[in-house]
């Protein structure tokens, strides 16, 4: 059956009879399963040209309060297929497994080779290891049209991932319409050109790049995600990575240090010294932004709001009389504490509105705000420190799950970045570091889950995004969903064997993953300079 991610328990019936799905198959959807019924009719209805009309027997969907949240049972017999989920999400994850049982043709949008599918007789019991099974897509560095985001939501659902973190703002672009500040998108959503490659690369295209999501686009994305039991976590990055906003509203920058009116939306990459001014007017401006963000991302869909906090160089604050006056007035020790004050402000502001702040692990520096959760990206250390201090953590160490990093050490990888992280490396990623596990369940529980992050400095098309993301996201999905043993004991050979069937599913979906033998000629980018890190990544 080659299911990915692997379920906890699979019992096959050796002489059991297959279930035949065809035009006569009915769908019996119990209370709370209507969304999954809609999804099944769309997916299987398209793939096999069947109606799945309401009726008894056939495919039966039920919520069963006796099961845990997100857990499901799937029973396939000759007469009926029953999915029982602990909640609506559990039923939906069961339906994803059902689709895999129906074969690769179930991943196409119209029938090829007949309007019938055979599902093997089987009994499955399944539940996720973590509640936060995330993927971050950087739509700021290269904008990805709305359709790409919706397609990725489908791909996440197919892998039982349930969080999409959208990196919506950065130096190189602002991607979300904010009605009260129209220049954020009029000016901030596009740049005049783009540096091709990283660091030492001297190549620029002279091609304008841009795009943004209207508020209705965002509402559609959020609703589409919710229908698939995926939470969308918006990221508005402050106080660093903000040059697109400063280009639109120069008063947001450190105007007593540089002439911010000349700052363009950035066309290059890297850590950027042009950061927000730590003033009351900047805070008010971003409260205005966040008010609209909260309206677009309702609390029940997305309690967490990501405010970035990463890579904020402090030179301008050191040189700024205004920033220094602020430090003195607040009785702070240094610029790190000033950043902590900045983040703390939004922690309180979000908490007052029933939300939770999450930020990159730099928000630990200068003191972590009381309600904050941490995306631990520079390694495990930030996450461990945060968990010990009683904070929730999402593990996304760049040493393991940065999907912009190259998949192979050979010369053919397109614009090679970072360390070599193969499918097998990702398969052996462990979200709960030994130090925390040893300290017991109280700390282990602080690890909400993990996230694979895709930064797009070098990825200018959905094709390039597919290449970096797959097959590794499938390995990641199994890490966060399945009950795998310790990394060294994981059966990667077995996983790789199942990936043969899974690649056929990805082919049917039209995903341009990296082939096991290396990139197709058209997936290479000969001559474009990347940014390598050599050797095995240090585990920190």
Residues designated catalytic: 170, 241, 311
Minimum distance of ligand TNX from residue 457's CB (angstroms)? 6
Cα–Cα distance for residue pair 77/377, rounded to 1 Å = 45
Nearest to 465 by CA among 421, 414, 529: 414
217 binds ligand TNX (CB under 6 A): no
d(Cα 531, Cα 197) in Å, to the nearest integer? Answer: 8
The mark string for 314-353 relative to ligand TNX (x by CB under 6 A, - otherwise) is ----------------------------------------
Gap between the Cα atoms of 366 and 464, Å rounded: 38
Residue 58 to residues 82, 123, 508, Cα–Cα distance (Å): 8, 16, 25
For residue 383, report the phi and psi dihedrals to the nearest 5 degrees. -65, -40
Per CB under 6 A, the list member of 93, 342, 402, 481 interacting with ligand TNX is: 402
Q: Toward ligand TNX, which CB reaches closer, 297 or 377?
A: 377
From the list 72, 107, 212, 360, which residue makes contact with ligand TNX (rule: CB under 6 A)?
360
**Size of the residue set binding ligand TNX (CB under 6 A):** 8
Site for ligand TNX in 74-113 (CB under 6 A): none
Contact between 311 and ligand TNX (CB under 6 A)? yes
Which of 327, 316, 356 lies closest to 132 in space, CA to CA?
356
Do 15 and 47 meet the contact criterion of CB atoms below 8 Å apart?
no
Q: Alpha helix (H) ranges present in 123-279?
A: 146-158, 183-186, 215-227, 243-248
* CB burial of residue 147 (10 Å; 0-12, 13-18, 19+): exposed
Residues 272-301 touching ligand TNX, rule: CB under 6 A, are none
Longest dimension (CA), the chain: 80
Distance CA 106, CA 113 (A): 11
Provide the minimum distance between the beta carbon of 381 and ligand TNX in the complex, in angstroms, as a whole number.
Answer: 14
Residue 235 CB, shortest distance to ligand TNX, in Å, is 9
CA-nearest of 464, 529, 50 to 269 is: 529
Question: What minimum distance in Å lies between the beta carbon of 369 and ligand TNX?
Answer: 17
Query: In the range 27-66, which residues lie near ligand TNX by CB under 6 A?
Result: none
Whichever of 314 and 492 has its CB closer to ligand TNX, that residue is 314
Contact 499, 4 (CB under 8 A): yes
Is the separation of the CB atoms in 70 and 90 below 8 Å? yes
Show the site string, 412-451: x = touches ligand TNX by CB under 6 A, - = not.
----------------------------------------
- Residue number, 98 or 458, with CB nearest to ligand TNX: 458
Least CB distance to ligand TNX at residue 310 (A): 3
Which candidate, 403, 396, 430, places its Cα nearest to that of 419? 403
Going by C-alpha positions, the residue among 282, 258, 146, 269 that lies closest to residue 211 is 146
The contact pattern for ligand TNX, residues 250-269, with x = CB under 6 A and - = no contact, is: --------------------
The helix/strand/coil state of 308 is strand
User: Among 358, 359, 319, 324, which Cα is nearest to 338's?
Assistant: 324
Among residues 213, 429, 455, 495, which is the contact residue for ligand TNX, using CB under 6 A? 455
| Least Å from the CB of residue 407 to ligand TNX | 14
Among candidate residues 460, 505, 516, the one with its CA nearest the CA of residue 144? 460
Q: CB 99 → ligand TNX: shortest distance, Å?
A: 33
Beta-ladder partners of 235 = 167, 306
Residue among 12 and 461 whose Cβ is closer to ligand TNX: 461
User: Which residue's CB is nearer to ligand TNX, number 103 or number 309?
Assistant: 309
Closer of 87 and 404 to ligand TNX (Cβ): 404
Q: Which residue has the tokens 């091609």?
A: 207
For residue 298, give both structure tokens.
């309702």
Centroid of chain to Cα 330: 36
Q: Are 248 and 184 in contact (CB under 8 A)?
A: yes
Report in angstroms how near the CB of residue 391 gets to ligand TNX at its nearest: 17
Residues 6+ apart with CB under 8 A from 468: 403, 404, 407, 454, 459, 514
Residue number, 91 or 263, with CB nearest to ligand TNX: 263
One of 39, 285, 286, 377 touching ligand TNX (CB under 6 A): 377
Closest Cα to residue 399, out of 440, 373, 433? 433
Segment 456 to 495, residues that bind ligand TNX, using CB under 6 A: 457
Give the DSSP per-residue string, 390-412.
T--EEE--HHHHBTTS-S-SSTT
Should residue 174 be labelled a site residue for ligand TNX when binding is judged by CB under 6 A? no
Query: Could you give the CA distance from residue 174 to residue 266 in angstroms, rounded to a whole number?
Result: 11
Nearer to ligand TNX, 377 or 495 (CB): 377
- Minimum separation from the CB atom of position 377 to ligand TNX (A): 5
- Among 70, 87, 126, 404, contact with ligand TNX (rule: CB under 6 A): 404
Report d(CA 261, CA 257) in Å as an integer. Answer: 12
The residue among 75 and 171 lying less far from ligand TNX, judged by its C-beta, is 171
Judged by CB under 6 A, the residue of 116, 125, 154, 310 near ligand TNX is 310
Smallest distance from ligand TNX to CB 533, Å: 10
Considering beta carbons, is residue 380 or 402 the nearer one to ligand TNX? Answer: 402
Residues in contact with ligand TNX by CB under 6 A are: 310-311, 360, 377, 402, 404, 455, 457
């Amino acid at each position: 059956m080659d299911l990915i991610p692997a379920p906890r328990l699979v019992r096959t019936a050796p002489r059991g009879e297959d279930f035949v799905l065809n035009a006569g198959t009915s769908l019996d959807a119990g209370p709370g399963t209507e969304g999954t019924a809609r999804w099944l009719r769309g997916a299987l209805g398209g793939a096999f040209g069947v109606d799945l009309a309401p009726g008894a027997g056939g495919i039966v969907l039920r919520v069963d309060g006796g099961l845990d949240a997100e857990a499901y049972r799937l029973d396939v017999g000759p007469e009926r297929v029953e999915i029982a989920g602990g909640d609506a999400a559990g039923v939906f994850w069961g339906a994803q497994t059902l689709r895999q049982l129906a074969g690769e043709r179930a991943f196409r949008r119209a029938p090829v080779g007949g309007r019938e599918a055979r599902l093997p007789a089987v009994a499955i019991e399944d539940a996720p290891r973590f509640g936060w099974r995330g993927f971050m897509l950087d739509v700021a560095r290269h904008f990805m049209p709305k359709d790409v985001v919706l397609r990725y939501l489908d791909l996440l659902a197919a892998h039982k991932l349930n969080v999409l973190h959208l990196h919506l703002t950065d130096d190189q672009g602002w991607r979300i319409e904010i009605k009260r500040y129209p220049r954020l998108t009029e000016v901030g959503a596009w740049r005049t050109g783009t540096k091709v490659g990283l660091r030492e690369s001297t190549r620029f295209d002279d091609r304008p790049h841009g795009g943004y999501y209207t508020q209705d686009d965002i509402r559609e994305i959020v609703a589409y995600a919710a229908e698939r039991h995926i939470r969308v976590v918006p990221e508005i990055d402050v106080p660093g990575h903000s040059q697109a906003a400063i280009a639109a509203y120069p008063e947001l920058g450190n105007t007593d240090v540089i002439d911010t009116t000349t700052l363009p939306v950035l066309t290059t990459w890297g850590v950027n010294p042009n950061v927000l001014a730590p003033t009351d007017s900047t805070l008010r401006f971003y409260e205005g932004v966040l008010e609209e963000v909260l309206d677009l991302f309702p609390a029940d869909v997305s309690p967490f709001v990501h405010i970035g906090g990463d890579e904020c160089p402090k030179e301008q604050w050191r040189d700024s009389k205004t920033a220094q006056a602020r430090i003195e007035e607040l009785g702070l020790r240094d610029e790190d504490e000033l950043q902590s004050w900045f983040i703390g402000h939004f922690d309180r502001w979000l908490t007052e509105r029933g939300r939770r702040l999450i930020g990159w692990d730099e928000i630990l520096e200068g003191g972590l705000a009381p309600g904050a959760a941490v995306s631990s990206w520079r390694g495990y250390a930030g996450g461990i420190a945060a968990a010990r201090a009683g904070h929730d953590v999402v593990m996304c160490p760049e040493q393991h799950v940065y999907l912009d990093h190259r998949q192979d050490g050979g010369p053919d990888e397109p614009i090679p970045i970072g360390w070599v992280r193969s499918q097998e490396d990702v398969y052996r990623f462990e979200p709960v570091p030994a130090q925390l596990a040893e300290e017991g369940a109280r700390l282990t529980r602080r690890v909400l889950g993990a996230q694979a992050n895709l930064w797009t400095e070098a990825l200018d098309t959905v094709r390039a995004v597919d290449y970096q993301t797959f097959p590794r996201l499938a390995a990641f999905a199994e890490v966060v969903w399945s009950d795998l043993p310790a990394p060294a004991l994981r059966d990667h050979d077995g996983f790789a064997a199942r990936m043969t069937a899974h690649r056929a599913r990805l082919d049917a979906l039209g995903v341009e993953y990296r082939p096991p033998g290396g990139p197709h000629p058209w997936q290479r980018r000969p001559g474009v300079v990347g940014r390598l890190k050599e050797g095995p990544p240090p585990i920190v």
